[in-house]
Amino acid sequence: MGGILIDSESQRPAQGLATYLANREKDSGDIQVGRKLGRLLRKAGFTLERNTASYEVITESLLKIGPSLAAQFATPGYCSLQEKADNDSLFVALAWCEAIGRAT
């Protein structure tokens, strides 16, 4: 899973997010497009001014919405985040890519 950092004592959060991302990619297209922004801007005729990437820790947000994610995207009994609300070992961060281009 490029762009996501996950650590937990259990593999279930990673499995749950993998299932969510697979479903999202199937429904929405290229979920890895952020890493391609610079190349896409150059191919479209823009001059690339800046291309950056950073991580945002989303553990707390994920724990709050975990049960609804599990209900919508994970196969029941396979993986979920439902029992992770009291688990202090969970760490999740997402990569964000940004690019600024100038029309030439």
Distance CA 43, CA 97 (A): 17
| pLDDT-flagged residues of the chain (< 50) | 1, 70, 73-79, 84-86
pLDDT reported for residue 1: 45
Does pTM top 0.75 for this prediction?
Answer: no
pLDDT reported for residue 75: 47
Residue 73 phi/psi, 5-degree rounding, is -120, -25
Other CB atoms within a 10 A radius of the CB of residue 84 amount to: 23
Number of domains observed in the structure of the chain: 1
Structural domain containing residue 99: 4-103
Distance CA 98, CA 102 (A): 14
- Among residues 63, 38, 31, the alpha carbon closest in space to that of 53 is found at 38
